[in-house]
Structure 1
Amino acid sequence: MTTFVDRVELHVAAGNGGHGCASVHREKFKPLGGPDGGNGGEGGSVILTVDSQITTLLEYHHSPKRKATNGKPGAGGNRTGADGQDLVLAVPDGTVVLDKKGNVLADLVGHGTSFVAAAGGRGGLGNAALASARRKAPGFALLGEPGEARDIVMELKSVADVALVGYPSAGKSSLISVLSAAKPKIADYPFTTLIPNLGVVTAGSTVYTIADVPGLIPGASQGKGLGLEFLRHVERCEVLVHVLDCATLEPGRDPLTDLETIEEELAQYGGLEERPRLVALNKVDVPDGQDIADLTRASLEERGYRVFEVSALAHKGLRELSFALAQIVAEARAAKPVEESTRIVLRPKAVDDAGFTITEEDGAYRIRGVKPERWVRQTDFSNDEAVGYLADRLARLGVEQELWKVGAHEGDTVVIGAEDDAVVFDWEPTMASGAEMLGRRGEDHRFETQRPAVDRRRERQRGRDAAEEEFRAFEALSSGRQAIEGDDEDY
C-alpha cells in the first residue's frame, strides 16, 4: 500500500460566478419603480496552502479532482447572491507547482505560504448596477464568469539542510537514526529506504534538519532504481554528505569508485555543482573497515574533500561530523539575505498597452485581451440589449478604431477570444452606439433588419390612420353620452 507520494497530477476547477438579475421594482401604485436586480456572487477559488503537519501528497493521489463551489445568482430587491466557498488544499512544505508543460507556477516554502491554483469567476452585475443617466432601466444583466480550470503537477522537494547520499546499504539510515530521533527502516539488504527520511539534529546552538535520500545506483539520473524519483529531494539542501561503505563485499566496489559514480549521477541531474560536500567513511568498526578507510582517506583529501571516519553502530566520529555540518549550515543561513515579512510587487501597466491586440488570421481578425474576452463571457447573446451593451463597451475601449487601422472592412469576420472559446461575428463599422438607440426592454434597434424606406412610410401611415379612427370612435361615444344625459334631465 502506498504511504508516501511526492508527485501528483491534479485537476482543479474554481467555482463559476453567479449571474446578475434583471428585475424591476414593483409595488402598489408604482408598477415601474426602477431596476432592482442584484449582482451575482463570486465563485470560490482553489487555494494551495503550506501546512507543516502535512508530509506527503498521498491525499491528492487518491482524489485527483478538486472543485470549489459556485456563486449564487442575484435576485430582485437588490439582493446580491452568496459567494462560493474557497477550497483550501493543504500541501507539504517544499511543494513545487507546475503546469502540464513543466513551467513552474509556484514554489511553496514556509508554513502558511499560499498560491491560488484556480481563480473563481466574477459574479455578473445586475441591472441595478448597470443603470445610468443614459440607460435608466436596463432590460438585461451580465452573466457570471466561468471559474478557472486547469491541470497542475505538484512535486514535493524536501526542505532539509543536509542530504545524505550514497549507494544502497551504505548506512545512511543508520546514521540519521543516531544523529537524530528519526526511526527509519534499517535492514541488511538494498533499497530498505523507499521514502526520504527526515531528522532534526542539534549541535551546540545550531538546529538543522537532515535527510537520507533513497539509494542511488549507476543510471539513476536516467530512471534506473529509485534515484530519479528522489533526487529532487536534495535540491534544497545546503550541504551534501557522501556516505561511503568501507565494508562492502560486492566485487568492483570501493569507496573511491562509489564516490565517482554518485558524483556522476549528481552532475547529470544538474543544479548541485556549487553545494559543499563532506565525506563520511562509514562502518569503520567492522573488520578491515578501518584499514580501507585509512587507504582511501588521503586520496579523498587530495581531491579537496573533508573526510570523517564514522560508525553508526559504535557511535564513532558522530560528534565531529555533526558539528562540522552545523558550521556549514550556520554559514549558509547567515549568507542568505533577510527577507521582509511583507513584499509588495508592483506591475505598472505599459504606456502603450491598449488592453487588447488584433491579429489577422486566415482572413479573419482575432481580438485578444483580458477585458474583451471577459466581456464576451459575461454577455447574454439571446438579449439584443445586452449585445448592444457589449458593442458600446468595445467601442469605448477603442476596438473599432483599431480595426480601421489594421485594414478591416465592413462585413469582415471578427473573432473575440481563443480558438477553443471564441465568438465570431461580421463587423459593421457604421453601426451607431449609445443608449438612445434602445427601444423596448430587451431590444436594441441596431440589431433589427433594415427595411426599405417605402415600407417604413407605409407603416407610419397605417399608424396615423389607426389613431384617427380611434379618435373618431371616441368622439362618437362622447356625443352619445351627452344626448342620454339631456333626456334624463328633461324627464
Structure 2
Amino acid sequence: MEAFVSRFVDRVTIHVAAGDGGHGCASVHREKFKPLGGPDGGNGGKGGDVQLVVDPNVHTLLDFHYRPNASASNGKPGKGGMRNGAQGEDLVLPVPDGTVVLSPDGEVLADLVGVGTTFVAAAGGRGGLGNAALASKARKAPGFALLGEPGEQLELVLELKSVADVGLVGFPSAGKSSLISVLSAARPKIADYPFTTLVPNLGVVTAGETVFTVADVPGLIPGASEGRGLGLDFLRHIERCAVLVHVVDCATLEPGRDPLSDVDALEHELAQYTPALKAEQGGVDLAERPRMVVLNKMDVPEARELAELVRADVEARGWPVFEVSTASRDGLRELSFAMAAEVERYRAQLPPPEPARVVVRPTAVDDGGFTVEPDPEVEDAYVVRGEKPERWVRQTDFNNSEAVGFLADRLAKLGVEDALAKQGAEPGSQVTIGSMTFDWEPSTPAGVAGVLGRRGTDLRIEHDDRVSASERKAAKKARRSSLDESGRFLEDQD
C-alpha cells in the first residue's frame, strides 16, 4: 500500500505577473445625417493585481512549491460608444500567518501577520485612455488612443516564520517533540534516532489563564548558522518567540557531550544567526531573548545524577533550570507555568493593539521629475529617465503618427526638450526613453500644441505614407477621364 507523506515547505520562490491594462479605443460616433458625431472611444480596463492574503486554513507554502507561477487576468480594451473595457480580475493567493515577503536580494517587502492581512505583490497595468478622453480644443477628434500599460512582473521569496511564543532548541533526539506532545495536544512523530523531526512542530499550551504556542527547531547542530544540517532552514521559526528554551538530553551516551557543552554549542549558533525581520516586526537579535534550560529524561537514574552536577553551573548564568521527564511527566506543570509567566511578561511590553485598518499609500504617478543624461555607451546620445516620460512612451502607439505627435507635445510641455537642449542635444541626436530609442527632432516650444493634420496624422512626422482623401479623389478623377464614351479604356481601342 502506497504511503502518503505530508510535506512542509517554509521557503519558496514565486514568479508573479499582474494583468496588463486594456488598450483605449479610437472611435468616432457615426449615425445617419451625422457622419462625424465626435470621438466616442472608451478607456481600457485596468489589469488585475496579484494579492497575498493571510488565510487561517493555510499552514504551509507547499502549494507555491508545486505552482510557483501566478498570473492575474488582463484588462479588456475599450470600445466605441463610450464603452470602457472591463477590469481584469485580481488573483488572491492565500498564505499562512507569519509569511514574510522578500525580494531576491533579501529585502523585506512585507510581514504578513494576522488573518486577513493583504499585500499587493504585483500591481496591474493601467488601462489606456480612449480618444474620447483625449479630446481637447486643439484635438477635437483624435485619431488615436493610448495603449494599456503592462502589469508588474516580479520574482519574490516567501518565508514562513511561525508565530510561536516559546521556541524549543536542542540537539537531535533531545526530546523536543516529546515535550510538545505532553504539554499540548500536538502529536508529532517521535523516534529514537536523530533527525526524526523534519518539520517545525507547533503546539498550543494552556497554563492557568494563559494560552500560548510552542514550536521546536528540528535538527539544530553545530554549524547550523552556516548551512550545516537542517537548523538553518528552521531557525527562522523562532525569530518571533518571546522566550527560548534549551532542551538538554541528560541521558545521552554520545562521547564528548554533556549538558553544558550542548548549551554552549547551541548558544553559539543562535548568536551567529541574523534575523531577517526588523525590530518593529518582532525579529530582534536572538541573543536578547530570555532563556530557560530544561534538563530532560529525568526518569533515567544516570540523567538525574548528571543534572545535579550541572544545575548550579547553569543557574550561575542567570537562567532558570527545570528538571523534567516526558515519560513520567515530572516537572511539566512547573515548566508550563514558568513559560506562561515569561510569555505574559513579553506581551505586557508590547504596544497596545490597534484596530486593523486599511492604509492606502498611493504612488505619486504624476511626479514630474525626470533626468536627462548623456548615454555612456553611444556618442552624441542621451537617456531620459523618469516615471512620467517612461509611462507615456509605454502608452504610445508608434504606428500612429498622430499618437507620436501627441507624445512629442507632452514631452515638450513637461520640459524634456528644453532639458535636452541644455545638455547639448542637436536635431538628429539619439534619445532613449524607456525601451524606445529615436532621433530627436525639436517640435514646438514647451506647452504649445503642434500643428494638426488630418485624423491619425501629425504634420511634424516625416515619411507619412498614408493616402489622403484629396489624393484618392484626384486618382478617381484621373481614372474617369481615361474612359471614352462607351465606357472602355482608351488604350483598349487599339
Verify: 1:309 aligned to 2:323, yes or no.
yes
Change (3 A) 1:444 1:281: same
Q: Summarize the alignment of residues 73-472 of structure 1 with structure 2, pairs less than 5 Å apart.
A: 73-270=77-274, 271-341=285-355, 342=357, 344=359, 354-362=368-376, 363=379, 364-417=381-434, 422-431=435-444, 434-435=448-449, 437-448=451-462
- Cα distance 1:449–1:173, how it changes in 2: closer, same or farther (>3 A)? closer
- 1:310 positional shift: 0.9
Give the C-alpha shift of residue 268 in structure 1.
1.4
Between the aligned partners of 2:362 and 2:456, the Cα distance in structure 1 is 40
Name the structure 1 match of 2:489. none
Which is worse superposed, 199-208 or 117-126?
199-208
TM-score, normalising length: structure 2: 0.87
> Following TM superposition, by how much is the alpha carbon of 1:354 offset from its aligned partner in structure 2, in angstroms?
4.1
1:435–1:358 CA distance, 2 compared to 1 (3 A): closer
Runs of at least 5 residues in structure 2 that lack an aligned partner in the other structure: 275-284, 465-469, 482-494
- The amino acid that maps onto 1:331 is R
Of all paired residues, the percent bearing the same amino acid is 68
Change in CA separation of 1:164 and 1:94 when aligned onto 2, cut-off 3 Å? same
In the alignment, the residues of structure 2 paired with residue 177 and residue 68 of structure 1 have an alpha-carbon distance, to the nearest angstrom, of 42
One-letter amino acid of the counterpart of residue 423, structure 1: M
Counterpart CA distance in 2 for 1:273 and 1:345 is 36
Give the aligned residue type for 1:298. Answer: A
Q: What letter corresponds to residue 21 of structure 2 in structure 1?
A: G
- CA displacement at 1:141 relative to structure 2: 0.4
Contact 1:13/1:147 (8 A) holds in 2: yes
The alpha-carbon deviation at position 339 of structure 1 amounts to 4.4
Please report how far the alpha carbon of residue 201 of structure 1 lies from its aligned counterpart in structure 2 after TM superposition. 1.0
Post-superposition offset of 1:347: 8.5
Q: Is the 8 A contact 1:16 1:144 kept in 2?
A: yes
**2:412–2:444 CA contact under 8 A, matched in 1:** no
Q: Are the aligned partners of 2:12 and 2:159 in contact in 1 as well (CA < 8 Å)?
A: yes
Deviation per residue, 1:438-465 (Å, 9 max, x gap): 1111000011369xxxxxxxxxxx99xx
CA distance in 1 between partners of 2:44 and 2:63 (Å): 33
Give the superposition deviation at 1:143: 0.5
Answer yes or no: is the 8 Å Cα contact 2:100–2:110 preserved in 1.
Answer: yes
Q: State the distance in 2 between where 1:308 and 1:398 align.
A: 73
How far has the Cα of 1:294 moved from its partner?
0.7
Q: Which amino acid aligns with 1:87?
A: L
- Structure 1 residues 164, 415: CA separation in 2 closer, same or farther (over 3 Å shift)? same
**CA–CA separation in structure 1 for the residues paired with 2:112 and 2:235:** 18
SS of the equivalent of 2:93 reads strand
Task: Give the deviation of 1:302 after TM superposition.
Answer: 0.8
SS of alignment partner, residue 374 of structure 1: helix
Kept after mapping to 2: 8 A contact 1:283/1:311: yes
Secondary structure, counterpart of 1:288 in structure 2: helix
1:459 corresponds to: none
Give the Cα–Cα distance (whole angstroms) in 1 for the partners of residues 422 and 384 of structure 2.
14
1:358 CA drift (Å): 1.8
- Match for 2:289: what amino acid? R
- Quote the Cα distance in structure 2 between the aligned partners of 1:280 and 1:175: 10
What's the offset of the Cα at 1:431?
Answer: 4.1
Which residue type is aligned with residue 105 of structure 1?
L
- Partner Cα separation in structure 2 for residue 155 and residue 5 of structure 1: 9
Q: CA deviation at 1:207?
A: 1.2
The 3-state SS of whatever aligns with 2:88 is: coil
Matched residue count:
451
Contact 2:443 2:460 in 1 (8 A): no
* CA displacement, residues 129-160 of structure 1 (integer Å, 9 cap, x when unaligned): 11112211000000011111111111111110
Of 269-278 and 359-368, deviating more is 359-368
Letter aligned with residue 451 of structure 2: M
More helix by share: 1
Deviations 1:342-370 (A, max 9, x none): 37577997xxx742122222232211111
- SS of the equivalent of 1:437 reads coil
One of 21, 27, 30 as aligned partner of 1:23: 27
Structure with the greater alpha carbon radius of gyration: 1
Contact 1:135–1:435 (Cα < 8 Å) also in 2: no
C-alpha displacement of 1:430: 5.0
Q: In structure 2, what is the Cα distance between the partners aligned to 1:226 and 1:64?
A: 23
Secondary structure of the 1:446 match is coil
Q: Distance in 1 between matches of 2:26 and 2:271?
A: 64
Structure 1's unaligned 5+ residue stretches are: 451-461, 474-491
Measured in 2, the distance between the counterparts of 1:22 and 1:73 equals 11
SS in 2 for 1:182: coil
The residue type paired with residue 366 of structure 1 is: V
Could you tell me whether the CA contact under 8 Å between 2:409 and 2:450 is conserved in 1? no
Q: Find the aligned partners of 1:154 and 1:76 in 2 and give their Cα distance.
A: 43
Structure 1 residue 436: Cα displacement: 5.7
Conservation of the 8 A alpha-carbon contact between 2:368 and 2:388: no
| Conserved 8 A contact 1:165-1:215 | no
CA contact (8 A) 2:443 2:450 kept: no
